[in-house]
A = this chain, B = another copy of it.
Amino acid sequence: MDDSHPLRRGPAAGAPIPASGAWRHGDPVGWRKFATVCSERCFALEGGGTLDEITLAYETWGTLDASGSNAVLVCHALTGDAHAAGPSGAGQPTEGWWEPIIGPGKPLDTDRYFVVCVNSLGGCQGSTGPWSPHPADGKPYGARFPVISTRDIVRTQALLADRLGIARWLSVVGGSMGGMQSLEWAVMYPDRVGSMVSIASTAAASPMQIGWSETGRLAIVNDHKWNDGDYYDAPDGEGPHEGLMLARRIAQIHYRSDDSLEARFGRAEADRLDKFNLWDRFQVESYLDYHGSKLARRFDANSYLILNKTMDLHDVGRGRGGLEAALGRITCPTLVVSIDSDILYTPRQQFELRDLISAGGAPLEFDTIHSIHGHDGFLIEFDQLGPMLDEFVSGIDKGA
């Protein structure tokens, strides 16, 4: 094999990749705050089993008003974290993932609203997850971390809301995995949700989403450095980075669209070469390498396994008599946003949400982001998404 083999060209050749992107005690924490939301008694999980103690990492922007009525919860997507807005800095290598949406004078105007974003339970940016010490032996949970559900995540967010003095959110807003949480909030806590926004999300994971999700999980566990989930103490930060990179590559393709990749890359070549070498790359391959490597430097493979499974298990109808009955429970004003080129969270799923929620009688608005960028549109098309959020949340605020 020649030296351009990707296994010899990947991030392993550069700076070492940490075994986990998780915050650890003593690391700089960026703008995060931490709350232990469950310590007096254990937290019972929907799927059985318990967690003894749960820490949540979160960020806030703006000021909670005296009546506690101006709080907006923003729920992040799979590989997001609590840093929805703000600059990069020590302990926070990237700027906020919704920087153009959240801030003074922005669509979620922090001069008016108190915005909260919580790193998900099961995540790796400060909240309890597979990287956390298992109470039995103090070693990381690894593969011992239990499978959690969207409902478990939402229940931990509700405990944090109690701590912050927020009895009722003005709005709960999320895209993709975050939208799953918005939906569960509206179904589980109708008295605590003043309005809800679901962007490019779904009432229940589709078989195509499950299939893609499974391939990502298998890419990780097929990497022998995954080592049954036990890699946190591996020398030199060794871990299933190749597997996680591959999982990310798979995802990065269906996060975009044919038109998006065609417009950006076409058949441009990344490597100067004769084109007839198995490992010479087109630009699109270099792009996927980049995104794979970038994720492997900041995200924990075990969190990727857990949160992907959480999304596959997402089904607001489970134990509630099906989707129609569950979505019929929603009473708050709701905004459902579709992206026309999304092949992962398809317009079909958005129409289903629209139809089933409005059938239950909740005031429903539906809007479509027109984009070539597919699912990633909710992280790109701020010129369209911003006014939608501004108008919807402002309308709720004035009506409240």
Q: Please give the residue numbers on chain A whose beta carbons come within 8 Å of chain B beta carbons, in ascending order.
A: 1, 5-7, 45-49, 143, 146-147, 149, 204-208, 210-212, 214-215, 217-219, 221-224, 228-229, 242-243, 246, 249-250, 252-253, 256-259, 261-262, 264-267, 274-278, 281-285, 288, 305-306, 309, 312-313, 315, 343, 346, 348
Contact of A261 among B211, B309, B312 (CB under 8 A): B211
Interfacial chain B residues near A282, Cβ < 8 Å:
207, 210, 312
A23–chain B nearest beta-carbon distance, Å: 24
* A-B complex: 10 closest residue pairs judged by Cβ atoms: A47-B276, A207-B284, A207-B261, A207-B265, A147-B276, A211-B253, A208-B258, A208-B261, A214-B285, A215-B249
A253 B215 Cβ-Cβ under 8 A:
yes
A278–chain B nearest beta-carbon distance, Å: 5
B313 A276 Cβ-Cβ under 8 A:
yes
Q: Contacts A218-B246, A246-B215, A246-B219: A258 and B147 contacting too (C-beta < 8 A)?
A: no
A274 B1 Cβ-Cβ under 8 A:
no
B1 A229 Cβ-Cβ under 8 A:
yes
Interfacial chain B residues near A146, Cβ < 8 Å:
276
A390–chain B nearest beta-carbon distance, Å: 31
Interfacial chain B residues near A284, Cβ < 8 Å:
207-208, 210-211, 214
A46 B147 Cβ-Cβ under 8 A:
no
A-B contacts, 23 listed (Cβ < 8 Å): A1-B228, A5-B221, A6-B221, A47-B274, A47-B276, A48-B274, A48-B276, A205-B267, A208-B253, A208-B256, A208-B257, A208-B258, A210-B282, A211-B261, A214-B284, A214-B285, A214-B288, A222-B223, A224-B224, A258-B343, A259-B348, A276-B313, A278-B305
A376–chain B nearest beta-carbon distance, Å: 13
A339–chain B nearest beta-carbon distance, Å: 14
Contact of A211 among B288, B309, B346 (CB under 8 A): B288
A222-B243, A267-B315, A343-B343 known; 18 other A-B pairs, CB under 8 Å?
A: A46-B276, A47-B275, A47-B277, A143-B278, A204-B267, A206-B261, A207-B267, A207-B282, A208-B284, A211-B261, A211-B285, A214-B284, A215-B250, A218-B246, A222-B222, A222-B246, A224-B224, A282-B312
User: How far apart are the CA atoms of A48 and B274 in the complex, in Å?
Assistant: 9
User: How far apart are the CA atoms of A348 and B258 in the complex, in Å?
Assistant: 9
Interfacial chain B residues near A47, Cβ < 8 Å:
274-277
B212 A253 Cβ-Cβ under 8 A:
yes
